[in-house]
């Protein structure tokens, strides 16, 4: 337990949860201060107003920019991942149980289905079906058994 509490990924998510709670309680300055701490100490940019389910795991927070409409439960994000806009002011929606590999980009008002996996360095600009695995630039589904 002691190792878990000291791990940067655990601490970064805890600080995000505290900022989100302060944001919901309309404590004006606290969310911004925590957001700056996350950026400076952990290299993580994540807005306190983002809707994120339980079980969010950011394995290596350095270089991650996570701005999404919604992030489901039990989502795993590795290092250097970006959730963000593309050509419009819409953000992605990420389902439950999604895995996002290192360096992946999920851009625009798209939906990542429950249980999907996104390969390392993939650039996702279209919806991903539930349970699918996508890789490449632009990301395309992996055909199993070929």
Give the pLDDT confidence of 92-140 residue by residue, as tens digits.
999 999 999 999 999 999 999 999 999 999 999 999 999 999 999 999 9
Give the containing element (helix H, strand E) for 51: strand 51-52
Q: Please, what sign has the CA dihedral across residues 134, 136, 138, 143?
A: negative
Q: Which residues are bridge partners to 64 per DSSP?
A: 44
pLDDT exceeds cutoff 90 at 3: no
- The DSSP letter of residue 143 is P
Predicted confidence (pLDDT) per residue in 17-63, tens digit: 999 999 999 998 999 999 999 999 999 999 999 999 999 999 999 99
Nearest Cα residue to 75 out of 9, 144, 142, 139? 9
Predicted confidence (pLDDT) per residue in 50-91, tens digit: 999 999 999 999 999 999 999 999 999 999 999 999 888 899
Nearest Cα residue to 7 out of 43, 58, 45? 58
Contact yes or no for 106/113 (Cβ under 8 A): no
Domains annotated on the chain, with CATH: 2-141 (2.160.10.10)
Q: Which residues are bridge partners to 135 per DSSP?
A: 140
- Predicted pLDDT of residue 146: 54
């Amino acid at each position: 337990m002691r190792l878990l509490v000291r791990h940067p990924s655990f601490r970064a998510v805890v600080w995000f949860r505290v900022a989100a709670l302060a944001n919901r309680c309309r404590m004006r300055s606290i969310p911004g201060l925590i957001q700056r701490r996350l950026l400076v100490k952990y290299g993580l940019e994540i807005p306190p107003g983002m809707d994120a389910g339980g079980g969010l795991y950011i394995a290596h927070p350095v270089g991650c920019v996570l701005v999404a409409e919604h992030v489901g439960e039990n989502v795993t994000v590795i290092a250097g991942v970006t959730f963000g806009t593309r050509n419009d002011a819409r953000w992605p929606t990420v389902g439950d149980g999604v895995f996002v590999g290192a360096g992946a980009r999920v851009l625009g008002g798209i939906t990542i289905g429950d249980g999907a996996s996104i390969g390392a360095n993939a650039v996702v600009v279209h919806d991903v079906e539930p349970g699918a695995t996508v890789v490449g630039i632009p990301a395309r589904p992996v055909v199993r058994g070929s």
